[in-house]
Structure 1
């Protein structure tokens, strides 16, 4: 014999049987009916926009032009990327198909005595000696073995990741395709990769090259930054040089990207060739690679206000749970829905969704208003690239800012459920998020990057849009919006914090009385 459920009026639910959609509706009702919480969300939008706009209007610079090539304008590569294309090149003209092979020893440092890690020496095929022209270069680097590089941003590692010199290098041109080979003994060859040149020119320049990028170092102590960015000079020896194909003229020395053109060196920083029979010793400086200007990330700068509005968002996340504990209303909530974990998850979904929408409005307005102010202040191409809201990295930064504010609200909610005290939970948020944001611009760089990697502050890496390349050694300052890890890696760190804290909160509300 079974006992029927007691009759109930339509539209009512039995205690303890509320579904998750009903929980979401109940938590949304709680949030929207508390006026001061709505005002807090509005204040978060206003603070984000005003602080971002104020930061943009007060960060004007004076543009002086010039690039990395002895005062000539900086060339641009694929997609308008700022590049460096100034190096020492000993070359001949190749018409049609052909190849060049050389045994390379070096590069070794002349000034300073230790060559920079990305100093390079090798064989190169280039459309012309004009800066920014197409090329394929196979090289030995001072600290990263054999590399095949092209298009200024493409980098392929050879099998000899820590090649000892001398080492044999070979480039073979067949139409628009250039194939690179390396050998440790000159007999057994390994293919490194292929490059397809965009140029249709029949005649190209090929030969030997040396490049030595600037030697950079930085020290920071309690907010004082000392940066050293000095030109370097390296040399390499080439022998057993063989060329095949229709070549014209004798070897010529050209300092690509420098005013002197060709011939013998005429001034500081110019290349030098010493030749004895079939042996070439080549010295020079400069680089052939993506440019790495020490400039702030404009998109991240346009979203600066989010670093202050997170305090308001976090406070709302804490109050969304601790207010019920303080007033004793949580007992009623758990009486209606005994499955306490579902209640906390519903709160997390509601506060996360509402904060995301609020953050999206705030970040979108901040970007649209701050970017024109930054451009008006002198942050213009080519030093600062051109981009639009529809570009992938920009969209990721704007939407990611809304998502990171949502995660901070969920993290704060979890802390509120764990501590059940408004003051203690907000203080904890300040210690784990706000304090690291302040310290990253003050403490020594090593500690600063540790904070950026391992604390919830890592989530702000989603705002950085300045491209970073592994084949270029660059300085990374937190105050310029630069994070040592990738955008999604940093965002994942913050997400992990939010998930862990919320999980602990769910476990605790199930184990402890309200």
Structure 2
């Protein structure tokens, strides 16, 4: 007596798929939830994502919350080092000066010209954000509120304030002189520029509550750091030293000023904030009484750009978790080819493109929900662990799940896992071999991660922009500032493109692969 043949519970659903796309979706959902091993793969993918994330953050610790940092008015870690010639400005007034001759100086001393400072790095180039200009600053303490109109070496005239704000003026070439002016009326400061000192063009205007009462108005020079990067397989060498620049100032005038000119070094190693320069020889050409002088400066005035991204680290398990998610995507189609069930599926739904689209929607939706559970758990468990391990402000951000960038990273990582599973589904439909498809999806996502560690920085960035690996840019929650000199190192989790543009690259790969899979499924008999 032969045993009765059991009909899969989703077989009856297939027969009704002709009635509409909704029934087709229901049939594919029934398949996915009634195959036990696929549920186990989904559960293991979630568990692995959370476990790897927790292990990664548990092994990361910082003593004392990181090095001491200067903090700006809004709590952002900043760089505030400049050579300042200034007067007190008790009320309304202005500061005007002509700036010329801005350039980097080659350091002759091993410490870059400042005792106790880090070694200089001579790259033979003047960094584009080397700057000189007029400034009104709350006081001479590093990190205090300020507004400045500056001439930069490579980015023309700019108006900047409180470190994180930047407005572009004219694109002036490095060799061209420029008159700069900053006017204060109450707590409103307005910046101007001129080619001849007569016809003025407004650059910008801002209201700052931190610039009330008696402030300091003057001229300054600051030099962006010089950096040299050497990359090879097995490691990256980054040499960074303070830049050193000079600029010439003609006829600096403070309307409404008092107490005469003073020279102060702000934020430099070995000097106290608010004190006159301890070493007057640091600027031997600065004859303050002549009304025309050269002013040398070292350091920078900008946000401190780092890759200290707690959110990205708490989501690091997604790189490993995508492997079982990819395996599920491949199995969801190759299992039907291997067992011949694809003929039944296509008989119930003769429009093959709709069938594969339904599979992609069901798979992507289920993977997104599972991935979202995993990413939320990874962040909620990992963030307190990193806090206990010393990752605290201002060196490290203080993220919350309700923060916009954090929410985008957490939800975006779940969406990334869903898109990867759809890409795996498409590759499975194209290759029709489980092992080959899983291998290919892993190679496509993991091999670039290996290669970028040894490629020159430009080539590594190009690879990160052009491959599906770009999708992981969605995890980046660091605010990046154009006016802050920084090195974007792949091994530190820095992606050269924005979060959404990187995610769009991954989606484009999945869409193209799915389109090719539909085309092949239509043209080739199963």
TM-score (normalised: structure 1): 0.92
Task: Show the counterpart of 1:284.
Answer: 297
SS of residue matched to 2:487:
coil
Q: Is the 8 A contact 2:401 2:407 kept in 1?
A: yes
RMSD between aligned residues: 2.1
Distance 1:135 1:437, change over 3 A: same
* Offset of residue 442 of structure 1: 3.8
CA distance in 1 between counterparts of 2:317 and 2:463 reads: 20
- Deviation sequence 1:210-262 (CA, Å, 0-9, x none): 11122122111002111111112111110032332x21111011112243443
How does 1:433-444 map onto structure 2 within 5 Å? 433-444=445-456
Q: Is the 8 A contact 1:310 1:408 kept in 2?
A: yes
Task: Show the counterpart of 2:113.
Answer: none
Of residues 129, 138, 162, the one that matches 2:173 is 162
How does 1:180-195 map onto structure 2 within 5 Å? 180-195=191-206
Task: Show the counterpart of 1:100.
Answer: 95
**Stretch deviating more after TM superposition (445-454 or 132-141):** 445-454
Task: Show the counterpart of 1:116.
Answer: 127
Q: Is the 8 A contact 1:134 1:198 kept in 2?
A: no
Segments of 5+ residues of structure 1 without an aligned counterpart are 1-10, 68-72
CA distance in 2 between counterparts of 1:41 and 1:96 reads: 67
Matched, 1:216 2:216: no
Q: Is the 8 A contact 1:83 1:289 kept in 2?
A: yes
SS of residue matched to 2:375:
helix
Of residues 446, 460, 467, the one that matches 1:448 is 460
Q: Is the 8 A contact 2:153 2:174 kept in 1?
A: no
SS of residue matched to 2:63:
coil
Distance 1:415 1:169, change over 3 A: same
How does 1:301-340 map onto structure 2 within 5 Å? 301-340=313-352
Matched, 1:478 2:490: yes
Of residues 406, 409, 412, the one that matches 1:397 is 409
* Offset of residue 65 of structure 1: 5.2
Q: Is the 8 A contact 1:401 1:463 kept in 2?
A: yes
**Stretch deviating more after TM superposition (230-239 or 251-260):** 251-260
Task: Show the counterpart of 1:226.
Answer: 237
How does 1:222-371 map onto structure 2 within 5 Å? 222-244=233-255, 246-258=256-268, 259-260=271-272, 261-266=274-279, 274-275=286-287, 277-293=290-306, 295-371=307-383
**Stretch deviating more after TM superposition (16-25 or 161-170):** 161-170
SS of residue matched to 1:103:
strand
Of residues 149, 155, 161, the one that matches 1:138 is 149
CA distance in 2 between counterparts of 1:397 and 1:114 reads: 37
- Deviation sequence 1:86-116 (CA, Å, 0-9, x none): 2111111112221121110132111346432
**Stretch deviating more after TM superposition (273-282 or 363-372):** 273-282
SS of residue matched to 1:393:
helix
- Deviation sequence 1:358-397 (CA, Å, 0-9, x none): 1111111111112222222222221112121111111111
Matched, 1:43 2:20: no
CA distance in 2 between counterparts of 1:264 and 1:37 reads: 70
* Offset of residue 81 of structure 1: 1.5
**Stretch deviating more after TM superposition (445-454 or 480-489):** 445-454
Of residues 448, 469, 472, the one that matches 1:457 is 469
- Deviation sequence 1:317-342 (CA, Å, 0-9, x none): 11111111111111111111111111
SS of residue matched to 1:17:
helix
How many equivalent residue pairs? 495
Task: Show the counterpart of 2:27.
Answer: 26
How does 1:27-106 map onto structure 2 within 5 Å? 27-63=28-64, 66-67=67-68, 73-78=69-74, 80-106=75-101
* Offset of residue 129 of structure 1: 1.5
- Deviation sequence 1:278-325 (CA, Å, 0-9, x none): 1021111111110123x4422111111110111111111111111111
Q: Is the 8 A contact 2:311 2:399 kept in 1?
A: no
* Offset of residue 15 of structure 1: 6.3
SS of residue matched to 2:286:
strand
Segments of 5+ residues of structure 2 without an aligned counterpart are 1-11, 108-121
CA distance in 2 between counterparts of 1:505 and 1:457 reads: 21
* Offset of residue 474 of structure 1: 0.4
Task: Show the counterpart of 1:8.
Answer: none
- Deviation sequence 1:179-235 (CA, Å, 0-9, x none): 111112223222111121123623211110111122122111002111111112111
Q: Is the 8 A contact 2:70 2:143 kept in 1?
A: no
Q: Is the 8 A contact 1:106 1:142 kept in 2?
A: no
SS of residue matched to 1:131:
coil
CA distance in 2 between counterparts of 1:441 and 1:296 reads: 19
Q: Is the 8 A contact 2:81 2:299 kept in 1?
A: yes
Matched, 1:510 2:522: yes
